[in-house]
Structure 1
């Protein structure tokens, strides 16, 4: 037993020496990482102390040390609030719809772009679908408002051309969630497709050539070569997206919603903004944000475990 323990200790020492040698060998690269680590520590980890605001009756003047601890008071207030429950439900629904569309559309776009043979057309189309990503939601929201206008909007002009009646879509609660999902997919899918295009580019072209020589059709090559080849990338992206299940897009919603669609469009982000910034109830806003974070973390862990069981692939 003592011999086994000694061997384990010696193995650990050997591994430690190898790691130290590796660090010394690539010391310049590790030094380059220090600013990034510093940034993450200062702006991501230090602010975590602010979570304590959710458990105290926080007063800006008294600060953290002078404010009274109240336990789960604000969490109880949240779950008793009809407005919070409505925002929670809207967030889940909108985020779920966005996650499905935002997950599938980039994959389909990447597959379609990969099949285009004309290089000039492929590059032009790639640029066109990437551009919306670089436009802020303030500008993009204004464009959407103009497109959906009942008087000058292109969408309503098309509806009228086919004999329909113009509708102000942005003030109709029945259409608002659909508008959020569609416009978000249009804005983000081009940028999100870059990862899948890069993964497809890394596949062995000889496999495609062999499949073509064997008589495989284009769709057969997609389903039996391309998709299986990028399965790992798809799983990782899906797990990361699940982590944002409680983030339905503050910038988008706050630029598009209005009192007419408030009940269908109010989400946790707008609720936190309203409670924390406008009403300055920081403790209640922190409690709502804490719930968001906990659910997001739980969903990532759950999705990662499911992915590892199904395909033995995950992010950790």
Structure 2
């Protein structure tokens, strides 16, 4: 009996030693992965988390010469100024309208591209199309807007010259409020849809080909295969990316909007990003600019939390 008890005690004492050795071995094996992760981790710490300490200036009348500590506190004055500004509701309307167009027109475009490429049978054709639709992503918005200006200029634009040659009137694409939103969304689709389709193509690459073979045996045509196999395979990816997209609903791309703006279309083109640049940064109102940024971030956070809960309520995986 004593020997049995001694054996049990020895085995119990041996288990933690083995577990510690296993942890050390696993840690050593993971060192290359930790080294790969470290630059990205360092980037987020330096450029994302440490600057969050500067959010305190939204509650101060920040003076660069006085610093964070000695700048006077003003509480919620900057937020009150934002919500009582005469342009607030115009900015909110324009921002939400453009974001809604992005959600319902731009967001589905990469999904459609991915499905169409997945259905292509010729590998050489698929590679050529992928290269062509990926290339615009590497162009800056300055180049994209410049190309658009050359095509849509009222007097000497290529498209207006074509319309005039066909006997139609010239259209003021860039100097009319009626066409700004359409031009903005069309540029987004042309530039970023191909690049955003990569993640959906990666999800489709994991689909078992035997599922399509079984569907063919059962008599399913191409549309049925897309509806019952391809789309269900993309469902979780679509839900997660849609939730993340809602978090960026107040961010429309400052450079893109600014380059398309002009005094004529400002009533539909002015959004929070350009408003902050014009009334905050250029005038040195850093505290006010930070307050607007906090407002945008809070809206994005609330939308992510709400969308995540709705996704889980409907049986989908959320982002957390």
Q: Please give the TM-score of this superposition, normalised by the length of structure 2.
A: 0.90
Query: For the residues of structure 2 that align with 1:157 and 1:202, how far apart are their CA atoms?
Result: 48
Give 1:7's aligned residue.
none
Identify which range, 220-229 or 173-182, moves more after superposition: 173-182
How far the C-alpha of 1:305 sits from its partner, in A, is 1.1
Structure 2 residue 60 is the aligned partner of structure 1 residue 56: yes
Give per-residue Cα distances to partners, 1:6-54, cap 9 Å, x unaligned: xxxxxxx99x969955445423322332222122111100000111111
Give 1:274's aligned residue.
278
- Which among 165, 168, 180 is matched to residue 164 of structure 1? 168
Structure 2 residue 309 is the aligned partner of structure 1 residue 305: yes
Unpaired stretches in structure 1, ≥5 consecutive residues:
1-12
Give 1:260's aligned residue.
264
Query: For the residues of structure 2 that align with 1:18 and 1:200, how far apart are their CA atoms?
Result: 40
Give per-residue Cα distances to partners, 1:154-208, cap 9 Å, x unaligned: 3323433554210121111011111111111111100001111111111000110
Q: Is the 8 A contact 1:84 1:271 kept in 2?
A: no
Query: For the residues of structure 2 that align with 1:264 and 1:206, how far apart are their CA atoms?
Result: 50
Give 1:46's aligned residue.
50
Give 1:197's aligned residue.
201
Query: For the residues of structure 1 that align with 2:242 and 2:73, how far apart are their CA atoms?
Result: 38
Give 2:192's aligned residue.
188
Query: For the residues of structure 1 that align with 2:268 and 2:39, how far apart are their CA atoms?
Result: 43
Give 1:132's aligned residue.
136
Give 2:109's aligned residue.
105
- Give 3-state SS (helix, strand or coil) of 2:314's partner: helix
- Give 3-state SS (helix, strand or coil) of 1:184's partner: helix
How far the C-alpha of 1:131 sits from its partner, in A, is 0.8
Seen in structure 2, the aligned counterparts of structure 1 residues 116 and 300 have a Cα distance that, compared at 3 Å, is: same
Structure 2 residue 36 is the aligned partner of structure 1 residue 32: yes
How far the C-alpha of 1:79 sits from its partner, in A, is 0.8
Q: Is the 8 A contact 1:23 1:30 kept in 2?
A: no
Query: For the residues of structure 1 that align with 2:124 and 2:39, how far apart are their CA atoms?
Result: 40
Structure 2 residue 73 is the aligned partner of structure 1 residue 86: no
Query: For the residues of structure 2 that align with 1:185 and 1:205, how far apart are their CA atoms?
Result: 30
How far the C-alpha of 1:234 sits from its partner, in A, is 0.9
Seen in structure 2, the aligned counterparts of structure 1 residues 19 and 268 have a Cα distance that, compared at 3 Å, is: farther
Query: For the residues of structure 2 that align with 1:19 and 1:243, how far apart are their CA atoms?
Result: 41
Identify which range, 40-49 or 112-121, moves more after superposition: 112-121
Seen in structure 2, the aligned counterparts of structure 1 residues 78 and 120 have a Cα distance that, compared at 3 Å, is: same
Give 1:142's aligned residue.
146
Query: For the residues of structure 1 that align with 2:165 and 2:217, how far apart are their CA atoms?
Result: 49
Q: Please give the TM-score of this superposition, normalised by the length of structure 1.
A: 0.91
